[in-house]
Amino acid sequence: MSELSVNHLLGIKYLNKKDIQLIFKTADHFKEVINRPIKKVPSLRDITIANLFFENSTRTKLSFELAEKRLSADVINFSASQSSVKKGETLIDTVNNILSMKVDMVVMRHPNPGAGVFLSKYVDASIINAGDGAHEHPTQALLDSYSIRERLGDVNGKNVVIVGDILHSRVALSNIYALKLQGANVMVCGPKTLLPKYIKDLGVQVETNLRKALNWCDVANMLRVQNERMDISYFPSTREYTQQYGVNKALLNSLDKEITIMHPGPINRGVEITSDVADSDQAIILDQVQNGVAVRMAVIYLLASKIKH
Amino acid sequence: MSQKVLLNAKELNIILHRLACQLIENHNDFSNTVLIGLQPRGKYLANRLAEMLSIDYKIKDIKLGHLDITFYRDDFRRGEKILEANTTDIDFIVEDKNIVFIDDVLYTGRSIRAALTAIQSFGRPNEIELLTLIDRRFSRHLPIQPNYRGRQVDAINEEKVKVNWVENEGEDVVYLINN
């Protein structure tokens, strides 16, 4: 019988190909479950999960919470804005306080890269990284690959371009690891100022011309420009960014093939993609959201099954 | 390890025909009845019975589904083995239907308990019956009994009943295996 090679999901970097295949196979079953009239299974009824969000989130938090509830886990929520973190408590103290209330698993989003890895060394609970700074966002990358697999049959051998703000994106890094692990060819595309200097070392192609990138790819994953993480100006104006790196219907129609458009959300309509693209059949943005619940159920289920009774 | 044949292909075939006839006796034309094979091993028996009912007994439009109970089991995290799920395919409505659960071996009854919970997710059936090829009596942990049984056996706990099918293992035979 197969099980995950890890006890925590801290990043795609720590997974192997078999882990990803197991997660996807399990997610297939959960996808069937969440399309039933009653979308709940009792597997995790004796597990308690804490969602610790030290940084704002809407869809990831909702998606995790829904996944947890559909597995019948008890859920407690915590956001930094209402907590003792503001009063000077350390991360380990905060988490250990929560764990002393008999919590089995922690889902954490944190502004600092490596927060999950750090925590996993000091606390006795299974940890899922729901985004740590500009480092990794593993469940997003898993649901992205799962959605590509669903749309195109397989990830292996596909050409995937990640477009936009690669520098500040945890989605980009996790996606690069996940896609490479599954045998996809990966390209990043964006203004030079938003491409990390040594990104080529990850085995990806670099392109600054969007049209060339789109002509090469089967799938384009459009990232949001993360204004909130930008301390300096990386491009002259939003209008200029959109002209160079925004995808619109006319551009897609002028390509010699039909490509699949993805977006991790939230979309800045009219900036990285226009509404007619976001709402078209080529876009699988809402499939990504639906698959997110199934994939997170799979990750939680598989990690929970390693917690001894 | 020693094994002895409980049922050979010929005996198995006679029993399957009897079970099919018993189902017809209670469910007439199956217009309000659905057959649900329990994953993983009940699937083969369910498929075989459905095929027999439609080919040998000319019953039209048999509704057959497969139900996986993995996420409803009561031993999650309690054993060494990781529970791996199988496919569920029920592409019809179970609300107000008469359901026949089909499984190859009835032992502790815990799988059937899980199946009873699992099927609730698809609606409220009118009635649920249980058909099992091998009923290991005196080994139940729960108050669950079959409505239709192929053969009743008294097997001790160390023994294992294994049902093989032509389409999966290449032979129709039921073994009693002594470890």
Which residue among B68, B82, B118 sits closest to A305, beta carbon to beta carbon? Answer: B82
pLDDT at site A83: 64
Interface subset of A 39-68, CB within 8 angstroms of B: 39-44, 46
The Cα–Cα gap between A79 and A111 comes to 12
Statement to judge: residues A142 and A281 lie in one domain: yes
What are the CA-CA distances from residue B35 to residues B30, B50, B64, B169 (Å)?
9, 8, 5, 23
pLDDT in tens, B132-169: 999 998 899 999 999 999 999 987 878 899 999 999 99
pLDDT at A82 over 70: no
The Cα–Cα gap between A134 and B140 comes to 55
Please say whether the beta carbons of A186 and A162 come within 8 A.
Answer: yes
SS3 state of residue A302? helix
What are the CA-CA distances from residue B48 to residues A240, B97, B118, B166 (Å)?
66, 21, 23, 10
Domain that holds residue B99: 9-25+32-157
When divided into structural domains, chain A yields a total of: 2
The Cα–Cα gap between B120 and B117 comes to 5
Which residue among B83, B85, B121 sits closest to A37, beta carbon to beta carbon? Answer: B121
Size of interface A-B (CB pairs under 8 A): 57
Average pLDDT, stretch A43-69?
93
CATH code for the domain in which residue A261 is found: 3.40.50.1370
What are the CA-CA distances from residue B10 to residues B7, B16, B171, B174 (Å)?
8, 10, 11, 11
Instruction: Judge whether A7 lies within some domain.
Output: no
SS3 state of residue A183? coil
Please say whether the beta carbons of A126 and A299 come within 8 A.
Answer: no
Contacts of B76 (CB under 8 A, 6+ apart): A43, A44, A304, A305, B83
Instruction: Judge whether B179 lies within some domain.
Output: no
Confidence tier at A2 by pLDDT (50, 70, 90): confident
CATH code for the domain in which residue B98 is found: 3.40.50.2020
To test the contact with chain A by mutation, choose from B71, B83, B87 the residue with the greatest count of A C-beta atoms within 10 A, namely B71
SS3 state of residue B158? coil
Mean pLDDT for all residues in chain A: 93
Angle at B150 between CA B147 and CA B153, to 5 degrees: 100
Please say whether the beta carbons of A260 and A219 come within 8 A.
Answer: yes
Instruction: Judge whether A50 lies within some domain.
Output: yes
When divided into structural domains, chain B yields a total of: 1
Statement to judge: residues A180 and A95 lie in one domain: no
To test the contact with chain A by mutation, choose from B76, B89, B117 the residue with the greatest count of A C-beta atoms within 10 A, namely B76
Instruction: Judge whether B168 lies within some domain.
Output: no
Instruction: Judge whether A221 lies within some domain.
Output: yes
Q: Indicate the Cα dihedral angle A228, A231, A236, A240, nearest 10°.
A: -20
The Cα–Cα gap between B69 and A30 comes to 12
Q: Inspect the interface and report whether the beta carbons of B122 and A38 lie closer than 8 Å.
A: yes
Of B130, B89, B135, B98, the closest CA to residue B113 belongs to B130
Statement to judge: residues A131 and A198 lie in one domain: no
Average pLDDT, stretch B3-22?
96
Instruction: Judge whether B175 lies within some domain.
Output: no
pTM metric for this prediction = 0.91
Instruction: Judge whether B170 lies within some domain.
Output: no
Confidence tier at B77 by pLDDT (50, 70, 90): confident
Closest residue in chain B to residue A1, using alpha carbons only: B82
What are the CA-CA distances from residue B62 to residues B107, B119, B166 (Å)?
27, 19, 22
Domain that holds residue A234: 138-288
The Cα–Cα gap between A154 and A148 comes to 7
Closest residue in chain A to residue B75, using alpha carbons only: A43
A307 interface with B at CB cutoff 8 Å:
yes
Amino acid identity, position B79: G
Set of chain B residues whose Cβ sits within 8 Å of the Cβ of A104? none
Which residue among A3, A26, A44 sits closest to B85, beta carbon to beta carbon? Answer: A26
DSSP letter at A225 equals P
pLDDT at A148 over 90: yes
Average pLDDT, stretch B82-97?
89
